[in-house]
A and B are shown apart, each in its own frame.
Chain A
Amino acid sequence: MTTYHHRRTFLGMVGAAWLTPVAAQLARAAEKAKREPATSIIVLWMDGGPSQLETFDPHPGTRIAAGGTAIDTAVKGVQLGKGLERLAEQMADVSLVRSVVSKEGDHERGTYTMKTGFRPDPTVVHPSIGAVCCHELAAAGTDIPRHVSIFPGQWPARGGYLGDKYDAFRMDDPAGPVPDTQSFLPKPRDEKRLQSLEVVEGAFARGRGGRAENTLHKHTLSAARTMMSSEQLKAFDVSQEPLAVRRKFGDTPFGRGCLAARRLIEVGVRCVEVTLSGWDTHVNNHELVAKQLAILDPAFAALLADLKERKLLDKTVVMCGGEFGRTPIVNPAGGRDHWPGGFSVAVAGGGIKGGQVVGATDPDGKKEPTEPAKVADLHATMLAAVGIDHAKVNHTPIGRTVKYADDGTPIRGLLADRG
């Protein structure tokens, strides 16, 4: 009891003194729940803009379904598109936001919006959510980059105004080596090279002293050397997992990416983005989506199950979505076109309540969705889950003030024990 009182007094004092009201509220909510905020985010990035109708928001039997069917899930009354059978089993841990509304229908601009929570703005480049996490959360003793993008694609997560040191570290299929981390030289020769480098650095520092030091070049180089010899590099190496585990994720590049994401989170990486491209289904939508689901379903489901088994799901927010959804009406080529006006995102873990559905799209594909969620609301929700104040004001290099999640607010009912 004493402890309880102490904490309360302390929090009240601190809240009144300098915490912003939102953070104070969060702190109070956290106290009530007695749970720590999550520490990592995994973004399963569905590049190209996945159709909501064949994935997280089926409308079976309607005209807009165009023959698509749905399956029941572990949560009564919540259906998923056919092909997500394994994810359906995990539904008690997953929530769906079916009413995401964005204003950007172009791939590049839509990607920017979904990854940063802001529309593109010519006067500032916003950081992706992973960069925000790395900037705000403690480093946790990692020697490897804390922000990783597996299959970076054209527009990987960026540090924006927080600086390019927060850019995601880009790598391809974890079946291959981590790029540029091996010198391929015998140790004595490698060491001699470093000695030589010291000599050259010494000459440059002469007459430049602190200014040469301020470039942080040597500092960054030594961090890179630490990474090269770090045991944590093995986190990228999925071949160290038992075959049975690898099979669960699926023998696909994306499956390996998801498995690597889990391994990276375990060693303290803050944010991993794993991209599955191929969702831009302007032609033959149903057929193409079915192929995508065969890759996504085992990987996504295995990732959640695996995290849960290792008691990491509570500490890890998992988000799955793309830059926009697709038109309710199927076009003459059997495809669906870009549709930012009501699409779906799945969220799980990190204290986010499972089995919830937020908003609903019109079964006729005409009216706007109910309970619309702005992209910024989605970001505010995820940031709240990792304990970051989404309304915190930052200063860009040109002195502009920007919040982390625009004018968003956490989506009601998604944050467990937080009202």
Chain B
Amino acid sequence: MIWAKNLLFVAVIGGGVFTLGLNLIPPAKPTVLTEYHSPAPSNLPVEAVNQAFRKQWEDEGVTPVEPAPDLIVARRLALGLMGTVPSLEEIRQFEILPADQRIDWWLDHLFADQRFADYFGERLARAYVGTEDGPFILYRRRRFVSWLSEQVAANKPYDTLVRELIAGDGLWTDHPGTNFISVTSRPEMKNQPDPVRLAGRVTRAFLGMRLDCAQCHNHPFAAWKQTDFEGLSAFFGRTDIGFGGVHDGKTGEYEVETKAKDGTRVVDPKVPYAPELLPHTGTRRQQLAAWVTHKQNPFFARAVVNRVWALMHGRPLFEPVDNLDPSADVPPALDILANDFVAHGHDLRRLIRTIAKTQVFQLDSASDRQVGETEEKAWAVFPLTRLRPEQVSGSVLQAASVATVNAESHILLRLMRYGQQNEFVKRYGDTGEDEFEGRGGTIPQRLLLMNGEMVRERIKENPLNASSRIAWLAKDDPRAVEAAYLAVLSRRPTSVEREHFEKLLADPSVKRTQRLEDLYWALVNSTEFSWNH
């Protein structure tokens, strides 16, 4: 018996070492490893969106810049959809495809990747419930996020997903969507969900409106009244949390305090606009969910289109991302995309693909002409936006590895990555719920990238690190420099850069692996690395 056990142990360890070893060898001759057979999407409204922008540019007398290289477009997509730069391995595969197939292949590749589901799940979670830890017993944030990831992975129609969040019943542990409700419960309220916070969340996350300002006073620039907000809150007036989890009672009224001492008055559920879309059957939450996601409720699709646009561009089409002012003009592109989204089954992937293929998304962020704020405002040049902490840490880890670090990577690698990433994001300073904060970086962020442990560990001499592998395996210096540039910045060096770094690599006074490490350090600390462009 003991023998068998020992043998098993040796086999397990040996197997582990073997797979790790396989990971060490970079693909010598790239072939397209994966082919995707999703039906070619037709009739995407790409041209309509392009025309809308062209008209705007013409009206404003703005000239768009040239298209960006397709590797840079791939980088934007990788960062926006899965929070990391493409791996050197992926870049090699991308580049052997014919130019006109690359972006579609890349999108298929991303959609099939668990990293997309995880990253997008977290982004949706932040929009829905923020980052707070919430009530200890009644709320499971991680269950909620992984449930959202599963819905993204299954490409569940977005309206169905949202209906489950607003109207779902059950325990937050086995019906994780109900965490959306239970997160608002507080001990001071006898652990019952808070209708006021729920109404605020629903309007902000799903309709892109900050109706919660009307919680205390009439909205300063929109048409919302305090009574609109109370009417919405009343839809949650019968929702309670009991042994069976979140549940709607058949009776009970929503009451608010009046100014008179101990005075209350009953508020009936009421939607702030388009009452004809509200069904007459179902629980109050089901009615609200149907109204929010109704095909003729224009704010529902606009809100999600605006958010997805922002995740991909680093900047929403209409700012701020969750305050679609009903009295302001909506950019025509927003409505074109929103209408298509509703007409084609609330399909998030179709929406992402459409945006990815528009002229605006594929524009360069640089130009030989003088471009500035006017062009950025008109989307005539791709905006420069700061990357999120997860995007920066994900990119450091990916750039430090030749092979793709994904769900199929070795478990040891993934564990290491997970631990390091959490620590890094904590120090870098999570921006929390504010996903699209445009201001410059901080001193601790720069210190962390220059001197921090994760960067040091990931660029130093180590058989697992790309810097060492490139140093050993690249046939000559020009190729080593190019490989490093592709792995970190997803582009090839300019002639000036090539010359500088080839000279650096030829310096015999420093070990070659250390010279590669220095090259990596310079690339990782550049503006280009920490900004979406």
Contact = CB atoms under 8 A, between A and B. Distances in A.
Interface in A22-75: none
A167 B439 CA distance: 13
Contacts of B366: 206-208
A6 interface: no
A224 B447 contact: yes
B105 interface: no
Contacts of A108: 132-133
A203 interface: yes
A165 interface: yes
A204 B212 contact: no
A228 interface: yes
Interface in B477-533: 493-494, 496-497, 500-501, 504, 510, 514, 518-519, 521-523, 525-528, 530-531, 533
A196 B522 contact: yes
Interface in A209-223: 209-212, 214-221, 223
Interface stretch (B196-204, B235-243, B272-280, B284-292): B196-204
Contacts of A120: 132
Contacts of A145: 443-444
Contacts of B446: 217, 220-221, 223-224
Candidate in B210, B366, B446, B494 with the most chain A CB atoms within 10 angstroms: B446
A122 B430 CA distance: 17
A4 B440 CA distance: 45
A165 B200 contact: no
A189 B518 contact: yes
Contacts of A204: 526-528, 533
B431 A123 contact: no
A395 interface: no
A165 B135 CA distance: 30
A180 interface: yes
A400 interface: yes
A200 B526 CA distance: 7
A142 B195 CA distance: 47
B420 interface: no
A221 B524 CA distance: 12
A327 B297 CA distance: 48
A123 B440 contact: no
Contacts of B320: 397-398
B429 A164 contact: yes
A208 B445 contact: no
Candidate in A123, A164, A169, A202 with the most chain B CB atoms within 10 angstroms: A164
A256 B528 CA distance: 40
A122 B215 CA distance: 11
A216 B384 contact: no
Contact of B437 (A164, A181, A203, A217): A164
A193 interface: yes
B372 A169 contact: no
B432 interface: yes
Contacts of B445: 220
B443 A224 contact: yes
A215 B440 contact: yes
A359 interface: no
Contact of A165 (B432, B439, B493): B439
Contact of A106 (B135, B201, B371): B135
Nearest to A163: B439
A318 B510 CA distance: 52
B522 to A, nearest CB: 4
A292 to B, nearest CB: 22
B500 A196 contact: yes
Interface residues of A, number: 55
Contacts of B368: 207
B494 A167 contact: no
B519 A196 contact: yes
Interface string A152-184: 000000000001110101100000000111111
B443 A223 contact: yes
A201 B526 contact: yes
Nearest to B221: A399
A338 B186 CA distance: 13
Interface in A103-121: 103, 105-106, 108, 120
A208 B384 contact: yes
A209 B133 CA distance: 42
B365 interface: yes
| B: contact size bracket | 35 or more
A197 to B, nearest CB: 5
A244 interface: no
A218 B210 CA distance: 36
Interface in B199-238: 200-201, 204, 210, 212-213
Interface stretch (B26-34, B54-62, B262-270, B448-456): B448-456
A125 interface: yes
A223 B368 CA distance: 30
Given A123-B212, A180-B448, A217 B372 contact: no
A327 to B, nearest CB: 12
Interface in A360-374: none
Contacts of A221: 446, 450, 525
A192 interface: yes
Candidate in A108, A145, A220, A223 with the most chain B CB atoms within 10 angstroms: A220
B526 A197 contact: yes
A1 interface: no
A287 B376 CA distance: 62
B281 interface: no
A122 B130 contact: yes
A227 interface: yes
A241 B268 CA distance: 67
Given A106-B135, A179-B427, A193 B518 contact: yes
A211 B444 contact: no
Contact of B527 (A196, A207, A212): A212
A200 B447 contact: no
A138 interface: no
Contacts of A17: none
Contacts of B151: none
A152 B187 CA distance: 26
Contacts of A400: 213
A189 B510 contact: yes
A170 B444 contact: yes
Contacts of B530: 217
Contacts of B432: 125
B450 to A, nearest CB: 7
Contacts of B533: 204, 208
Top 10 A-B pairs, shortest CB-CB distance: A207-B366, A216-B440, A196-B522, A224-B446, A217-B527, A180-B447, A204-B528, A200-B526, A180-B451, A197-B522
13 contacts: A103-B188, A122-B204, A145-B444, A180-B448, A196-B519, A196-B522, A203-B497, A211-B376, A215-B440, A223-B443, A223-B446, A397-B320, A398-B323
Given A196-B518, A210-B372, A220-B441, 7 more contacts: A122-B204, A169-B444, A197-B525, A199-B522, A204-B533, A209-B370, A218-B527
